[in-house]
Homo-oligomer: A and B are copies of this chain.
């Protein structure tokens, strides 16, 4: 087969034109006849008992169509990420600033606000639980009566950790702290719900998992899933923050109660105050090595502040433990992962899912170790790096690991690592320049022992045009674009012939959540299988018509190819004949990622098997008078398997690095007694265009052998992971002082300089 003219090409993302011109319709843009405005009333307290909740006055206000409390929810009153402990509307107690107590739908925003003001709530304010280290102590005040505040305490051990520590030549031992971080997606959470003529509750949802949304909405409405439809309009980013359902649930409840369509969009302040954050974690880590730098053991203990409800805490901390060893061969490892309930913001899913915190620890440890041993950090990493065939401490054997060292070497080559002594380290009296690297691995997919599947439907029409129906939510990451590319490639039609429909549970099969860098693999494989089945139909017709054997036939550029030469028969003609004769041009496939059905005893549970490797090197300039850190250069070398749409891959890297710079230097939600003090993008500082250096990116295309369609694999999460430790190590290189807390604000840099 000749080289593809679709796959591997820079292709504009599906809908890019509409996004750029403003024609694309996001949830806030959806207008419907009779549309009501939905709003939620939140608790003003981090912890309080609800003594009285009276909505009768609110219900009397003209223009108010529905006022709901927990008593008005027909079905289950909770979210359901892993455990159903977070109510949609508080029952008898509020446990953090994001707990809603009532929902209203009214003719307009002013009337909705009036309704919120008319709701009378009497709270008995309780002492909050805000420090996880206090909360986890025996005898501490219980956040949920009768339940331990420690909601997770998992210890995983492999090898002989204590013996390895005892025999080590050198030990590095530090305590790290990470912050609450905000997704800061362009579009806040929102949903628009209506009941259609058939009684189907139809919800436009800014989400990552439309089919799981459907399930949750049905569950809370006490309706069958067949009577609920979730459509994803354009979505302005998610980064894990829309993996769990949010206000689309309330919109659905309100629309059913009001008998009119309801649009409920969180404002920015509301969004920051209420939705999930990246977990703050306190990590104590001991790394032991021989004097040659060979890693002997890692021992870590991590305590996460979960906030009041489970949400994704268990899963995130599980991934933290899976990656705390880094992309290194570590045979003796112990990791204790603890999560504690507090009345602080809830921790949840966020790009990287525990891996950014882990990478900040293990890559800082590596540079501290390199300094202690006086070994080049690059050499130390190359010495210990995993390779194809390395058995990880999790029990997983790396099937394709070349990219670990290749990305290190490529990044070093790009910046000229061997000449780093020639770098001008003090360009001005108050400025110090430094270089720092970080290399990481991150898995793709749900993980072993978990169902990881996606369905897709492809239909070719009589005229050769194609519709691709995938339930994979496209939040801007471009999944439907690359799925369309794969379909176009296999069917021999131009990209313009493939229309990829945005996820709509009434039309598109379940593809699971767009999370865990998984959609490229699972939905990609499903697309290839479906396309191959249509391809079979077309080639059967072609073989029958031309009497030429199948192995000489191919499809490309809208035509049949015979021995790689264009033939007179077009795809359109083949499609027309195929349909007449009943060869299927409508194919559905369901791909199931192949993990071992039972995880071997002693292996880390739920560990991933396909890895993204990457290395980033930062050059920073530290102002030793102000503590200000400027990232001057950022080299990012990432492994993407085979790139389907290079524009999408480079976009993911660029965006991840920008997000990583913010995570490293400026982004931090300041929470005092459960109250976020900076709930705006004026005070929660994300990098602006000028804060981001020209990116020096490179992509390694080392095809993944298993489970990766055309060799491609996910790239969504890895870009954010090494940025913070690379910057941290560059600061260390610049000022000679290590930092152990994120973000590395000017204040903390000054403190380090003072210390």
Q: Which residues of A contact B (CB under 8 A)?
A: 18, 23, 25, 33, 197, 214-215, 218-219, 224-227, 451-453, 455, 457, 459, 461-467, 497-499, 501, 506-507, 509-510, 579-582, 584, 586-588, 590, 592
Q: Please, how many angstroms separate the alpha-carbon atoms of A467 and B590 in the complex?
A: 17
Q: Please, how many angstroms separate the alpha-carbon atoms of A197 and B23 in the complex?
A: 8
Contact flag A459-B509 (CB < 8 Å), given A582-B452, A590-B584, A590-B586 = yes
Residues of chain B with a CB closer than 8 A to A227's CB: 465, 499
Kindly identify which residue among B463, B510, B582 contacts A586, using a CB–CB cutoff of 8 Å.
Answer: B510
Could you give 19 example pairs across A and B, Cβ below 8 Å? Answer: A215-B461, A215-B463, A218-B463, A224-B463, A225-B462, A225-B463, A226-B461, A226-B497, A227-B465, A451-B579, A451-B582, A453-B582, A455-B584, A457-B588, A509-B586, A510-B579, A510-B586, A582-B590, A586-B588
Q: Please, how many angstroms separate the alpha-carbon atoms of A459 and B584 in the complex?
A: 19
> Shortest CB–CB separation between residue A375 and chain B, in angstroms?
46
One complex includes copies of this chain to the number of 2
> Shortest CB–CB separation between residue A194 and chain B, in angstroms?
14
Q: Please, how many angstroms separate the alpha-carbon atoms of A506 and B502 in the complex?
A: 12
Closest residue on chain B to residue A575 by CB atoms = B225
Q: Please, how many angstroms separate the alpha-carbon atoms of A226 and B214 in the complex?
A: 26
> Shortest CB–CB separation between residue A586 and chain B, in angstroms?
5
Q: Please, how many angstroms separate the alpha-carbon atoms of A732 and B509 in the complex?
A: 62
> Shortest CB–CB separation between residue A76 and chain B, in angstroms?
12
Contact A461 B225 (CB under 8 A): yes
Closest residue on chain B to residue A229 by CB atoms = B467
Contact B497 A501 (CB under 8 A): no
Q: Please, how many angstroms separate the alpha-carbon atoms of A464 and B215 in the complex?
A: 11
Q: Please, how many angstroms separate the alpha-carbon atoms of A590 and B592 in the complex?
A: 22
Closest residue on chain B to residue A581 by CB atoms = B451
7 nearest A-B residue pairs (beta carbon): A224-B465, A225-B461, A226-B465, A582-B592, A453-B582, A588-B588, A226-B499
Closest residue on chain B to residue A506 by CB atoms = B507
Residues of chain B with a CB closer than 8 A to A461's CB: 214-215, 218, 224-226
Contact A467 B226 (CB under 8 A): yes
Contact A507 B509 (CB under 8 A): no
Residues of chain B with a CB closer than 8 A to A510's CB: 579, 586
Contact B582 A215 (CB under 8 A): no
Q: Please, how many angstroms separate the alpha-carbon atoms of A455 and B224 in the complex?
A: 25
Closest residue on chain B to residue A585 by CB atoms = B510
Q: Please, how many angstroms separate the alpha-carbon atoms of A25 and B453 in the complex?
A: 38
> Shortest CB–CB separation between residue A498 and chain B, in angstroms?
8
Q: Please, how many angstroms separate the alpha-carbon atoms of A218 and B465 in the complex?
A: 11
Residues of chain B with a CB closer than 8 A to A451's CB: 579-582
Q: Please, how many angstroms separate the alpha-carbon atoms of A730 and B755 in the complex?
A: 114
- Which of A25, A463, A582, A592: most chain B Cβ within 10 A? A582
Contact A467 B588 (CB under 8 A): no
Residues of chain B with a CB closer than 8 A to A580's CB: 451
Residues of chain B with a CB closer than 8 A to A507's CB: 506-507
Q: Please, how many angstroms separate the alpha-carbon atoms of A735 and B287 in the complex?
A: 111
Residues of chain B with a CB closer than 8 A to A459's CB: 509
Q: Please, how many angstroms separate the alpha-carbon atoms of A584 and B589 in the complex?
A: 9
Closest residue on chain B to residue A226 by CB atoms = B465
Q: Please, how many angstroms separate the alpha-carbon atoms of A498 and B224 in the complex?
A: 10
Residues of chain B with a CB closer than 8 A to A33's CB: 33
Residues of chain B with a CB closer than 8 A to A590's CB: 582, 584, 586
